[in-house]
Amino acid sequence: MQKNKNCNVVLLGTGNVAWHLGHAMLKSQISLIQVYGRNKTQLTALANEWHVPFTDNLNCLSPEADIYLFALKDGAYQEICSVFPFRNACMAHTSGNVDNSVFQSLTRHGGVIYPFQTFTKGFPLAFHEVPLCIDTNDPECEEKLLFLAGKLSRIFCKISSIQRKQLHLSGVFACNFTNALYTLAQKIAEEKELDFNLLRPLIAETARKVQTHFPEEMQTGPAIRNDTGIINNHIELLKDPQLKELYHILTECIIKNAKNKS
Amino acid sequence: MQKNKNCNVVLLGTGNVAWHLGHAMLKSQISLIQVYGRNKTQLTALANEWHVPFTDNLNCLSPEADIYLFALKDGAYQEICSVFPFRNACMAHTSGNVDNSVFQSLTRHGGVIYPFQTFTKGFPLAFHEVPLCIDTNDPECEEKLLFLAGKLSRIFCKISSIQRKQLHLSGVFACNFTNALYTLAQKIAEEKELDFNLLRPLIAETARKVQTHFPEEMQTGPAIRNDTGIINNHIELLKDPQLKELYHILTECIIKNAKNKS
């Protein structure tokens, strides 16, 4: 793919990831030539918002795409591959977990462009700050995906399939479980009628600190000070046995990590 | 305390919290008239940085303070109260856990001004965004602490001792445990030679989302989708039994919370 050439993309999917990818493409020099989706309501809404041709019929897919970019639910790939109308096109999915060989019955040019971020539809973010991780064994697909990635974000890299799955796992800890802790913190606070607004600056600062430092340098709280008095008070305050257990495990993780460091 | 009057503060302590409080006072219209500390090196460094009189001898404390503001380790209060030279002064500590009655042998004007934030020395933050929570049973102390709080931050409120201890506990979940998850995520990523920089935008976005929304609305990931295939893959990828257990508990918390909501 020549450096100055445009890149035509057909986007398949209408969910969170598709919403963000589509927006990012419209803002970049990438031509989003068509959107495909099975959910007619979502498809029409997206296509109208973007002013882009759309279809819910795979047989009406444009044959002109440089890349067919899939942002579907992980379970949907087998079915769609069995009826996809083109052979040997460049096809890429966006999942952290689906195998990069999922398109191999259809094309030699399959791969993955994995945007490593948490996406919520209607919640815009700076897409040029989203790391795009490319996982493919095909040089032609790799070239196209690197071109696409470079237009969409300033952070992109090649990774192996093993790395991609591990990255997905680490993201569950950094994002999904972190958000679960925010929810628990909110519930603990609200039990005594404390507003979640009191917690927001603390949450923001905790995430801000690790943008320039490593989290183990930034650890604060009773566990890192090994303050057993406060730790025991806290475990007593918690009523739910599952929360007590969670408090125990995370406290032990902090203590163990501090020991390994020293 | 008259609205236009200045407020003279003697600060006792040279640790993280003292460092941030001192800086905030120097930036505000509060007169930091003296710093006391037992650690001579830290005390001299702070006093030189701030150009403020200092002493490591309690008998040399200025008697002119409107507020004696203590930012000591939780365990240090008993000892310092037994030798504090003044009676019936306004005294306040800054701890999430120490009782608000800790000064009662010395004064009727004791209380707490609890800055609800994670502090690291040398790591500046926007102090006017730090919630300052005031806990006292004395009206004179309350008036002075509200005046001080209003000069230092735009977010301040009165809370009870029970609320303060619960808020401290919720902060452990929102901050200390969250940071522990960042550390675990980093270790999981680095096991496959993935750079922590890949995780930083995800961490920042997760915290950003809950600044305007509630975390339960923002939950993403395999647990909220009840995607048992990915959940089982992830638990298999984790080798450490403690991490497996942590994965289980947090996944269950997310599923349980989603059920309670629906």
- For residue B99, the domain's CATH number is 3.40.50.720
Last residue of a domain, one of A159, A192, A222: A159
Indicate whether B54 and B134 sit together in one domain.
yes
Indicate whether A52 and A129 sit together in one domain.
yes
Q: What is the pLDDT of residue B28?
A: 93
Is B194 close to A166, i.e. CB distance below 8 A?
A: yes
Is B204 close to A211, i.e. CB distance below 8 A?
A: yes
Q: In this complex, how many residue pairs, one in chain A and one in chain B, have their CB atoms less than 8 Å apart?
A: 318
Q: What is the pLDDT of residue A245?
A: 97
Is A220 close to B172, i.e. CB distance below 8 A?
A: no
Residue A214 domain-assigned (yes or no): yes
Name the band, by pLDDT with cuts 50, 70 and 90, for residue A238: very high
Distance from CA of B242 to the nearest CA of A (A): 7
Angle (CA) A138 A141 A143, round 5°: 105
pLDDT tens-digit map of B40-99: 999 999 999 999 999 999 999 999 999 999 999 999 999 999 999 999 999 999 999 999
Indicate whether A113 and A202 sit together in one domain.
no
3-state secondary structure of A46: helix
Sheet arrangement for strand B54-55: B54-55, B30-36, B7-12, B67-70, B91-93, B110-115, B132-135, B156-158
Q: What is the pLDDT of residue A261?
A: 78
Number of domains in chain A: 2
Return the residue in B198, B213, B218, B225 with the most chain A beta carbons within 10 A, the one to mutate for interface testing: B198
Is B198 close to A133, i.e. CB distance below 8 A?
A: yes
Residue A83 domain-assigned (yes or no): yes
Indicate whether A190 and A149 sit together in one domain.
no
Distance from CA of A102 to the nearest CA of B (A): 16
Indicate whether B122 and B220 sit together in one domain.
no
Asked whether the beta carbons of A168 and A96 are under 8 A apart, the reply is yes
Type and span of the H or E element at A157 = strand A156-158
Type and span of the H or E element at A222 = none
| Cβ atoms within 10 Å of A237's Cβ, excluding its own | 19
Asked whether the beta carbons of B129 and B110 are under 8 A apart, the reply is no
pLDDT tens-digit map of A22-59: 999 999 989 999 999 999 999 999 999 999 999 999 99
Name the band, by pLDDT with cuts 50, 70 and 90, for residue A3: low
Name the band, by pLDDT with cuts 50, 70 and 90, for residue B231: very high
d(CA A237, CA A235): 5
Asked whether the beta carbons of A174 and A117 are under 8 A apart, the reply is no
Enclosing domain of residue A255: 165-261
**Res B4 pLDDT > 60:** no
Distance from CA of A114 to the nearest CA of B (A): 12
- Interface confidence, given as ipTM, is 0.96
Return the residue in A118, A129, A236, A242 with the most chain B beta carbons within 10 A, the one to mutate for interface testing: A118
pLDDT tens-digit map of A155-191: 999 999 999 999 999 999 999 999 999 999 999 999 9
Residue A1 domain-assigned (yes or no): no
pLDDT tens-digit map of A88-134: 999 999 999 999 999 999 999 999 999 999 999 888 999 999 999 99
Return the residue in B179, B193, B218, B242 with the most chain A beta carbons within 10 A, the one to mutate for interface testing: B179
pLDDT tens-digit map of B98-123: 999 999 999 999 999 999 999 998 88
Residue B250 domain-assigned (yes or no): yes
Mean pLDDT of B22-50: 95
- For residue B191, the domain's CATH number is 1.10.1040.20
Angle (CA) A222 B26 B127, round 5°: 45
pLDDT tens-digit map of B130-158: 999 999 999 999 999 999 999 999 999 99
- Average pLDDT of every residue of chain A: 95
Is B205 close to A117, i.e. CB distance below 8 A?
A: yes
Last residue of a domain, one of B159, B191, B220: B159
Please give the C-alpha separations between residue A144 and each of A19, A108, A239, in angstroms, as whole numbers.
21, 13, 54
- Average pLDDT of every residue of chain B: 95
Q: Among all residues of chain A, which has the CA nearest to that of B197?
A: A211
Report DSSP state, residue A59. Answer: G
Q: Among all residues of chain B, which has the CA nearest to that of A114?
A: B198
